[in-house]
A and B are shown apart, each in its own frame.
Chain A
Amino acid sequence: RAGTKSVPVRLRGPGPLAAAGLKLPHAARAAAAGMLFYSFFKSLVGKDVVVELKNDLSICGTLHSVDQYLNIKLTDISVTDPEKYPHMLSVKNCFIRGSVVRYVQLPADEVDTQLLQDAARKEALQQKQ
C-alpha cells in the first residue's frame, strides 16, 4: 500500500500480549480489540500499586482485579498521605472507577517497557487497518 511506513513486524515468536507477560492463547485477538491495557493490568494482579485519582487522592494497595473499563479493585489499602486524607481510615478494600484515575504507579521491575512498547505499536497498527 502506498504511504504506509514499514515497521518491523515479528512474523514468528510471542504474540503481542506476551509483551505484557501473558501467555494467553487469545492474546493477539485481545490486542486487536483494543484490550491491551486491560490485559496489561490483568498481568499485574497481586502486585502493589499506587493509584492517583483526579481529585489528587493517592491510594496504595494490592491490585485485586481490573475490568474492561479499567475500573480497579484494590485490597489492603492505605492512603499515601493519611494526615491530609483521613477520609478512608476505616476502608480496607475499595473499588475505583476507571474514569477517575489519573495515574497508576507501578513497580519498575514488574514491567518490561520494551515489550509493552512493541505490543502497543502492534495494536496501533491493527487498529489502523
Chain B
Amino acid sequence: MFSLNISLTVLLGTVAVITSDGRMIVGTLKGFDQTINLILDESHERVFSSSQGVEQVVLGLYIVRGDNVAVIGEIDEETDSALDLGNIRAEPLNSVAH
C-alpha cells in the first residue's frame, strides 16, 4: 500500500495552487490525500491580466480534485504581503492540455 512519499504535510499553511486550466488559487491547505485532492480554506483566486492589475476573487472553503492540480507552491507570507498586486501585469497561465 503506497502512501504519498513526498510529504505534503510541510505545505499545510498558505499555498498557491496552480490548476491544470491555468488558474491560481491562494488559500490555507488544510488537508490532502494520495491523489492530491486538496482542502483549501479561506481561498481566493488571483486573476492575472495584461491590461489591469491582479483581481482577487473570494472563494471560501474549497475541495480541489487532484486531477486538476498542477503545482502547489508554499507562499512566503513576508514576500507576498510586500507584493504590489495592483501593479502586476501578466497574461493568464496556459492550461496543461494542448
A-side residues, CB < 8 A to B, are 53-57, 59, 65-68, 71-73, 77, 84-97, 100
- Smallest beta-carbon distance A41→chain B, Å: 11
Q: Does B1 contact A (CB under 8 A)?
A: no
Known: A54-B96, A84-B90, A86-B88. A94 touches B80 (CB 8 A): no
Q: Are B76 and A92 in contact (CB under 8 A)?
A: yes
Number of interface residues of B (CB under 8 A): 37
Q: Which 9 A-B pairs have the closest CB atoms?
A: A91-B73, A90-B80, A67-B5, A54-B96, A94-B73, A90-B79, A55-B94, A100-B70, A95-B72
Q: Are B96 and A95 in contact (CB under 8 A)?
A: no
- Smallest beta-carbon distance A11→chain B, Å: 32
- Distance, CA A26 to CA B22, complexed state (A): 40
Residue of A nearest to B3 (CB): A67
- Smallest beta-carbon distance B7→chain A, Å: 8
Contact residue among B16, B70, B95 (Cβ-Cβ distance under 8 Å from A91): B16
Q: Does B57 contact A (CB under 8 A)?
A: no
- Smallest beta-carbon distance B97→chain A, Å: 7
Residue of A nearest to B77 (CB): A90
Q: Tell me how many residue pairs across A and B have CB atoms closer than 8 Å.
A: 93
Q: Are B74 and A67 in contact (CB under 8 A)?
A: no
Q: Are B73 and A56 in contact (CB under 8 A)?
A: no
Q: Are A73 and B93 in contact (CB under 8 A)?
A: no
- Distance, CA A57 to CA B6, complexed state (A): 22
Q: Which residues of A contact B93 (CB under 8 A)?
A: 55, 57, 85, 87
12 chain-A/chain-B pairs, Cβ below 8 angstroms: A57-B18, A57-B93, A57-B94, A65-B5, A67-B5, A71-B4, A85-B90, A90-B77, A91-B74, A94-B74, A95-B8, A100-B70
Most buried by B among A53, A66, A85: A53
- Smallest beta-carbon distance A125→chain B, Å: 25
